[in-house]
Amino acid sequence: MNGFPTIVRLTLHEARRKKVLVATLVCGLAMLGLFAIAFFFVSRDLGHNSGLPLVQRRLMLNFFIMAGLYGVNFLMVMTSVLLPVDTLSGEIASGVMQTVATKPIRRWEIVMGKWLAHAMVLIGYVLLLTCGVLLIARTISGFTPPNVTRGIPLMLLEGLVLLTLSIAGGARMSSIANGVTVFGLYGLAFVGAWTEQIGTMVGNATARSIGTAASLLMPSESMWQLAAWNMQPPLMRELQLTPFSPASVPNAAMVLWTVGYVVLTLIVALRGFARREL
């Protein structure tokens, strides 16, 4: 089985050269820089001389860190979709895939090799930015939000949902149609998640059910909400003072469904590409 590691290596090599990755890295570093400057001033003004109680100061710092992590989340969504969007469809359209697929290699090795390499790049990217935000906050204020070891994997799971969909779409659609479809699904999840939250707050069961159905269809946003819920102190969760405190908290079953969703999408990608005529 030489094909799989060879495809992983080539895809990693390819990802390094992609302008999308360079652009998101530059944007990510710029965001970290901005966050560091802003956090420094906010933290200084919220210091011991501000007259605010410690709990309130911590809540405000936590909120600001969540805003930084939300920025990371946004960049992760872009990267998850755009980095692999043409990895299959682009090579099929250009004829590159014909030369690869006529080698003694199984088609699943091509798909899995590309998926693994892109997942590795995505994980590295997200860890760099999330750890950057947390390290900046820790260094400046000595404060770290709770449960980051639970929150960051949930963010990564959200990224993997989008990345896997983007690869699966590339097995059947053109790059542009694929990108539009995955972002469309992400938008659906975003609206669905907010419908669920508002439905819960106002006690409207129908709105809540519609939101839940949308989250099942596309669970990306619910993973961010669960990650955000985990990385806040209990008081902040209960008071629901910020947009990062969901009223309806996704449960463990939703996490399991999301893992299954990634696996199912990957199976769809493998089957789609195996049947694809090149």
Partner 1 sequence: MAEPVIETRALRKEFGEKVAVAELSLSVRRGEVFGFLGPNGAGKTTSLKMLLGLVRPSAGEGTVLGARLGDRATRARIGFLPEHFRFHEWLTGRELLRFHGQLYGMCGASLEARVDALLERLDLLDASELALRAYSKGMLQRVGLAQAMLNQPDLIFLDEPTSGLDPLGRLLVRDVIGELKRAGTTVFLNSHLLGEVEVTCDRVAFVKQGRTLREMVLAEHSPELEVDLRVDPLTSEVVQGLARFGEHVPQRNGSLRVRVPNEQALPEMARWVVERGFKLYQMSADRPSLESVFLEVMGDDQRPG
What is the total count of residues that contact partner 1 (CB under 8 A)?
Answer: 21
Asked if residues 249 and 256 have their Cβ atoms less than 8 Å apart, the reply is: no
Q: What is the DSSP string of 116-178?
A: HHHHHHHHHHHHHHHHHHHHHHHHHHS---TTHHHHHHHHHHHHHHHHHHHHHHHTTS-HHHH
Quick check: 251 binds partner 1 (CB under 8 A)? no
Number of other CB atoms surrounding residue 235 within 10 Å? 13
Q: Calculate the CA dihedral of residues 141, 64, 156, 16 and round it to 10 degrees.
A: -80
Cβ closer to partner 1: 18 or 138? 18
| Binding-residue pattern over the window 92 to 131 for partner 1, x denoting contact by CB under 8 A | --xxx-xxxxxxxxx-------------------------
Q: What single letter denotes the amino acid at residue 84? A: P
Residue 7 or 148 with smaller CB distance to partner 1:
7
Q: Which of residues 12-51 bind partner 1 (CB under 8 A)?
A: 13-14, 17
Q: Which is nearer to partner 1, 4 or 40 (CB)?
A: 4
Q: How far is the CB of 103 from partner 1 (least distance, A)?
A: 4
CA dist., res. 176 & res. 181, Å (int): 9
Shortest gap between Cβ of 8 and partner 1 (angstroms)?
A: 11
Strand ranges for 82-192 from DSSP E: none
- Residues numbered 190-229 forming contacts with partner 1, rule: CB under 8 A: none
**Rule CB under 8 A: which residues touch partner 1?**
2-3, 6, 10, 13-14, 17, 94-96, 98-106, 277-278
